[in-house]
Amino acid sequence: MLAMHIVSEALYQPSTFAERGVLVPFTAPSLTGTRVRRARQGGMELLVPNPSGGRGVYIIGPEGIMQLCRPSIHDLVLNERIGKLPMLTPGRVRMTAAQVAAEGFAGRAAIGAAQAAIQAQALTESDAFYELMLALLAASGLSAAKQESLAAMSKAAMREQAPALLGRIAGAIGRSPDVVVAVLLDMAETFASFGVSQTASGTVQRCLQALGRLLTQAADWPRRLRANASRIGAAAMLTITQTEHAIAKSRAAMADPVVLLRSWCEKPEQTAEQIGLPDWLLDGWEQVCLLMQSASNESLLAARLEEIVLLLPAWPRTMRERFNLEADANPGSANARGQTEENSAMGGTNVMDLTLRNEALRLSSLELAGAADG
Amino acid sequence: MIASPFSKRPASNPANGEIRDTQRQLSDARDDQIARVVAVVDAMADRSGADHLIASLRPRLRRIRPRRPLAFGRLLFLPLTPLILPGAQWRRGTLAVPRTAFTPLIRQLREALGAEAGAIDAQIAGHGFDETAIIEQLGQRLWSAAARIFASAPVPSYWRDESGLNEADYLALVRPIAHLLACAATVEALARGSLAGALAPEEALRALLLAAAKAGGQTLGMSVVVLLANLPRAQRLLPLAADIAASATDPVVKTAVERAMDFTFDSLDRMVTTITGQEDGIQAATEEITRAVETLSRLEERVGPHRTDRRVRIDDLRRRLDGTCRGCFDAMLVERVLLPLQSLPADAGDAEVAGLEAAARDLRRFEQASRQAGSGELYDRQLRQAGRLLQTPALQNSAMTLADRARLMELLLGPEEALALLRQA
C-alpha cells in the first residue's frame, strides 16, 4: 500500500529550508517541482506538488513514486541514488543528478555536459578546499615564512598532505586529522557554490546573474502578463537581496575558521545549512530562469509564467515572519503545477513532449554548470 | 453525377502543359524538396500561376506541414478550411468552396479595403501560420472586414475569367462565406477552448446555428461542417442543429444538417487515404486520427436506426481508419524502430541513438491516437515484441548502452519495464 500524506496548503508551511526540501530535477512532468527532505522517522520523503494541479503537496516515501505517478527511468534512477545520500543539500542533489545524467539516463545529448559539470564542480571544490586549508593554517599561528611556503604548494600536494598539516588544529578541537579533513571536504563542497573569497564565484553567482536578467526582461513583458510578472519579480528581487546578504554572512564566518570548523564538527547539518544558505535560497530558481528563457514567443511566455508562478520556491516560515510576507504573498504556497495552456494544448501526448522539454532544460542546466565553472 | 465546371476546361494556355509536367516531377519529389518548392511559391508576389503547380500537392502538404508564412489570402480563408476543395472536385449545389474562387475574391476584397489591405499585409509580413496570437489578432480584423464587404458586394467583372464560375455561383458562395467570416472569431475561440479541453457552451453553439439558419440552408449546412470540424467533441452540436433545421419551413434549411453530415462523411473518406506514418507528418496524422474518431462518434450518435446506409458507412470508415492506422504503425515500427535498432553500427553515435528515441516517440504518439480507432491489444502486443528485442544478447553488445536501452524501453513500454531491464542487467 502507498504510504502517502496529502498536506493542504495551510499545513504545508515549512519552518526551515531543510524542511522545505531540495528541488529534484526530475524529468517527468508529473514530478516537476518535487522536493526531497529528510523524514522525521528516518530516511527520505518526497514532496510532490498536488498532481491535480490544486494546492498543497503529497508527501510520499521514495518507494511510492511509481504508485503516485509515471516517472521516467531517469527519475527512478535519480530517486534511488538520492535515497542513498547521507546528507541532503542542493549541491549534493545537483551532483547526484549530474552523475545520473552522465550515465546517459537524461539522454545521450546530456552525457558530455554532465561530465563537464561534474568536472567543473570537482575543480571548484578543490579550489575551495585549498583556500580553506590556507585560512585554517594561517589562523593556527604559523609563521609568515611557513605560510608563504604553504601558499606555494600545489592544490594536489596540499590535499595529499592535509592530514599531516591539520594535525595541530585537529588536536586543538579534539578530533582526528582524518575527521577534520573529511569535515573540511564537506565545507569545501558547501563553499564551492559561491566561493570562499570575494573574487570566487560558482553556481550561486551564475543563478543570481540569471535572476538579474529575468528581472530586466520582466520589464518588457506584455501588459496582460504583468500580474504574474510582478509576482515573480517581487519574489526574485527578495531572493537576490537575501542571497547576496547570505553570501556576505557565510564568507564573514571565515573570519575565524577554527570556530567554524569546530561548529561544523559538532553540528554538521545545521552549520552546513547556515553556511550554504545562499544555495538553499536559490534552490529551484535556476529551473524558473531556464523555463523563462525557453519561452520563444508571447503565448509560450504566458503559459510559462502561469507554470512558474506555481513553481516558485516557498519561503520557510522564519523568512516569512522576518519579511512580513502574507500567506498569499508567499510565492510558492500553491506549489503545484496547474494544467497550463501549454500542457493542455498538447493534448494526449503532453507527457512525452513535456518530458522532452524537461530533458532539454536539464541539458541547459548542465551545460551552464560545465561551461561557467570549468 | 453533376460534372465539375472545371473538369472540361480546355488547356487553352500552352503553359498548362509545362505545369502538368512539373506537377508530375513534383509528385515524385521528397518531402523536403516539396517544402522548398512551396517556400518559393509562398514568397512570390503573384502566385496565381504557381498555385496550379502546388494544387496536386495539397494532400501531401497537409501531412508535411512545412512552416508557411502567413499571407493575406491564406489568413482570409482559414476559417473555411473544412469546406475547401480543389476546383476539379467541386460540384454545384454542394457545401464545398472551390479553391478557384479565392483569387478573384481576394482581389475584390483588396480593392474594397484599399490602404487597409496594405496595412494588414505589413502586419502579416514575417509571421508564420504557427503564431496563434497573430492569427487571432489580425484574423479577427480581416474576417470582420471581409464579412462586411462580401455581405453586399456585387459580382466583380473579372469573376468568371478568374474563377471559371458563373455569376449565380458567386452569390451562392459569397453570401454564406460572408456569414462564416463574420462568425469566424467566435468559432476560433471555441476551437481554442476545445483544444485546451473545454467543451463549447451550448448557448454559444445555439446562437451560431440560429444565426446560420436565418441566413439560409446553404449557410447552415456550411456552418455545421465548419463547427463539426473545429469542435468534434461537442456532443450537442448535431442535435441542436437538427432541432433548428426541423423547426424551419424552408426545405433547404430542413435538409441542411443531413447535407452537412454527408459532406463530412465524404471529407472523412478523403482524409483516411491521406494518413501516413511518415516522419514529418506525425503531428498532422495524430490530430487527424483523433478528429476523425471523434467526428465519427458524433455522426454515429446522430444517425437514426433506419439509416442503415449511414451506419454501414460509419462502420466502413472506422474499419478503414483502423486498417490505415495499423498499416502505418506496422510500417513505422519496422522501418523506423526495429530495422534501425537491429542494424545499429557498433560505432553508432549520439545522433543515431537520439534518432531511434525520436522514432520511438513518434511511434507512441501515433499509437496513442490510433488506438482510439481500435486494435489497442494489437498495438500492445507489437510494442511488447519490440521491447523484447531490447533484451536480446545481440543488442546488449551493440552501441546501445544500458541507459540507452532503458530509455528506449521506457518510450516503448513504460518505466516499469525499463526498470526491470536495469534490474535484470
User: In angstroms, what separates the C-alpha of A223 from chain B's closest C-alpha?
Assistant: 15
Q: What pLDDT, on the 0 to 100 scale, is given for residue B179?
A: 97
Rounded CA gap, A49 and A128, in Å?
35
What percent of chain B stands above pLDDT 70?
82
Q: Is the pLDDT of residue B242 over 90?
A: yes
- Which residues of chain B lie closer than 8 angstroms to A345, CB-CB? 195-196
Which candidate from B197, B403, B410 shows the least CB-CB separation from A103?
Answer: B403
CB contacts under 8 A, B 196-255 vs A, are 196-197
Rounded CA gap, B408 and B356, in Å?
8
Q: Which of A108, A115, A358 to mutate to test the interface with B (most CBs of B within 10 A)?
A: A108
- Which residues of chain A lie closer than 8 angstroms to B419, CB-CB? 73, 76
Residue A47 bridge partners (DSSP): A35, A59
Residues contacting A109, CB < 8 A, separation 6+: A363, B350, B354
Q: What pLDDT, on the 0 to 100 scale, is given for residue A373?
A: 46
Rounded CA Rg of chain A:
21
Which candidate from B196, B365, B415 shows the least CB-CB separation from A70?
Answer: B415
Q: What pLDDT, on the 0 to 100 scale, is given for residue A344?
A: 39
Helix (H/G/I), strand (E/B), else coil: A103: coil
Q: What pLDDT, on the 0 to 100 scale, is given for residue B424?
A: 86
A338 at interface of B, judged by CB pairs closer than 8 A: no
In this structure, of A64-68, B125-129, B153-157, the range with the lowest mean pLDDT score is B125-129
A298 at interface of B, judged by CB pairs closer than 8 A: yes
User: In angstroms, what separates the C-alpha of B399 from chain A's closest C-alpha?
Assistant: 12
B403 at interface of A, judged by CB pairs closer than 8 A: yes
For B191-208, letters b (16+ CB in 10 Å) and e give bebbbeeeebeeebbbeb
pLDDT: which is higher, B364 or A334: B364
- Which residues of chain A lie closer than 8 angstroms to B368, CB-CB? 348-349
Instruction: Please provide residue A59's backbone torsions phi and psi, each rounded to the nearest 5 degrees.
Output: -110, 120
Rounded CA gap, A94 and A22, in Å?
9
CA A35 remoteness from chain centre? 10
Q: What pLDDT, on the 0 to 100 scale, is given for residue A308?
A: 85
B406 at interface of A, judged by CB pairs closer than 8 A: yes
Residues contacting A288, CB < 8 A, separation 6+: A214, A232, A236, A308, A311, A312
Q: What average pLDDT does this structure show over B392-401?
A: 76
Residue A60 bridge partners (DSSP): A4, A46
Rounded CA gap, B285 and B271, in Å?
10
Q: What pLDDT, on the 0 to 100 scale, is given for residue B61?
A: 60
Q: Is the pLDDT of residue B358 over 50?
A: yes
- Which residues of chain B lie closer than 8 angstroms to A111, CB-CB? 350
- At position A334, the amino acid (one-letter code) is A
B52-82 pLDDT, tens digit each = 666 666 556 655 555 678 889 999 999 999 9
Cα-based distances in Å from A357 to A112, A291, A302 = 18, 9, 17
Mean pLDDT per 10-residue interval, chain A, length 374 residues: 57 84 95 93 90 78 88 96 93 97 96 96 94 90 81 89 92 93 96 88 92 87 79 89 94 94 93 94 94 81 82 84 61 41 43 91 94 56
Q: What average pLDDT does this structure show over B25-47?
A: 64
Q: What pLDDT, on the 0 to 100 scale, is given for residue A336?
A: 37
Q: What average pLDDT does this structure show over B238-263?
A: 95
Q: What average pLDDT does this structure show over B376-383?
A: 92
Q: Are A44 and A88 in contact (CB under 8 A)?
A: yes
Q: What pLDDT, on the 0 to 100 scale, is given for residue B58?
A: 59
Complex confidence, ipTM? 0.85
Question: What's the grid cell of residue B377?
Answer: 491489444
Please judge whether A344 and B197 are an interchain contact, meaning their C-beta atoms are less than 8 angstroms apart. yes
Residues contacting A193, CB < 8 A, separation 6+: A90, A91, A202, A203, A204, A276, A278, A279
B271-283 pLDDT, tens digit each = 888 777 676 677 7
Residue B97 bridge partners (DSSP): B84
User: In angstroms, what separates the C-alpha of A300 from chain B's closest C-alpha?
Assistant: 10
Q: Would the CA dihedral through A320, A325, A330, A333 be positive or negative?
A: positive
Domain that holds residue A362: 4-373
Count of CB atoms within 10 A of residue B338's CB? Answer: 16
Domain ranges of chain B: 14-67, 69-274, 321-424
Please judge whether A299 and B133 are an interchain contact, meaning their C-beta atoms are less than 8 angstroms apart. yes
Please judge whether B357 and A349 are an interchain contact, meaning their C-beta atoms are less than 8 angstroms apart. no
- Average confidence score pLDDT of chain B: 86
H helices present in A173-325, as ranges: 177-191, 203-218, 226-252, 257-266, 268-275, 277-282, 285-293, 298-311, 317-322
Rounded CA gap, A259 and A298, in Å?
52
Q: Is the pLDDT of residue B12 over 70?
A: no
Rounded CA gap, A238 and A252, in Å?
21
Rounded CA gap, A302 and B196, in Å?
14
Which candidate from B290, B403, B416 shows the least CB-CB separation from A104?
Answer: B403
Q: How many domains does chain A have?
A: 1
Q: What pLDDT, on the 0 to 100 scale, is given for residue B135?
A: 87
Which candidate from B403, B411, B414 shows the least CB-CB separation from A105?
Answer: B403
Rounded CA gap, B212 and A88, in Å?
64
Q: Which residue of B has its CA nearest to A302?
A: B133
- Find the angle CA(B230)-CA(B231)-CA(B232) to the nearest 5 degrees: 105
Please judge whether A344 and B286 are an interchain contact, meaning their C-beta atoms are less than 8 angstroms apart. no
Q: Is the pLDDT of residue B205 over 90?
A: yes
What string of H, E and C letters represents the secondary structure of B331-398? HHHHHHHHHHHHCCCCCCCHHHHHHHHHHHHHHHHHHHHHHHHCCHHHHHHHHHHHHHHCCCHHHHCC
What string of H, E and C letters represents the secondary structure of chain B? CCCCCCCCCCCCCCHHHHHHHHHHHHHCCCHHHHHHHHHHHHCCCCCHHHHHHHHCCHHHHHHHCCCCECCHHHHHHHHHHHHEECHHHCCCCCCCEEHHHHHHHHHHHHHHHCHHHHHHHHHHCCCECCCHHHHHHHHHHHHHHHHHHHCCCCCCCCHHHHHCCCHHHHHHHHHHHHHHHHHHHHHHHHHHHHHCCCCCCHHHHHHHHHHHHHHCHHHHHHHHHHHHHHCCCCCCHHHHHHHHHHCCCCHHHHCHHHHHHHHHHHHHHHHHHHCCCCHHHHHHHHHHHHHHHHHHHHHHHHCCCCCHHHHHHHHHHHHHHHHHHHHHHHHHHHHHHHHHHHCCCCCCCHHHHHHHHHHHHHHHHHHHHHHHHCCHHHHHHHHHHHHHHCCCHHHHCCCCCHHHHHHHHHHHHCHHHHHHHHHHC
Q: What pLDDT, on the 0 to 100 scale, is given for residue A337?
A: 44
Which candidate from A74, A109, A299 shows the least CB-CB separation from B350?
Answer: A109
B91 band by pLDDT with thresholds 50, 70 and 90: very high
Q: What average pLDDT does this structure show over B193-208?
A: 85
Question: What's the grid cell of residue B131?
Answer: 503564431
Q: Which residue of B has its CA nearest to A340?
A: B196
Q: Which of A27, A68, A73, A299 to mutate to test the interface with B (most CBs of B within 10 A)?
A: A73
Q: Is the pLDDT of residue B30 over 70?
A: no
Which candidate from B286, B354, B418 shows the least CB-CB separation from A109?
Answer: B354
B210-229 pLDDT, tens digit each = 999 999 999 999 999 999 99
B394 at interface of A, judged by CB pairs closer than 8 A: no
Rounded CA gap, A140 and A264, in Å?
17
User: In angstroms, what separates the C-alpha of A217 from chain B's closest C-alpha?
Assistant: 20
What percent of chain B stands above pLDDT 90?
60
User: In angstroms, what separates the C-alpha of A92 from chain B's closest C-alpha?
Assistant: 22
Q: What pLDDT, on the 0 to 100 scale, is given for residue B400?
A: 87
Nearest to A281 by CA among A307, A233, A314, A311: A314
Q: What pLDDT, on the 0 to 100 scale, is given for residue B141?
A: 94
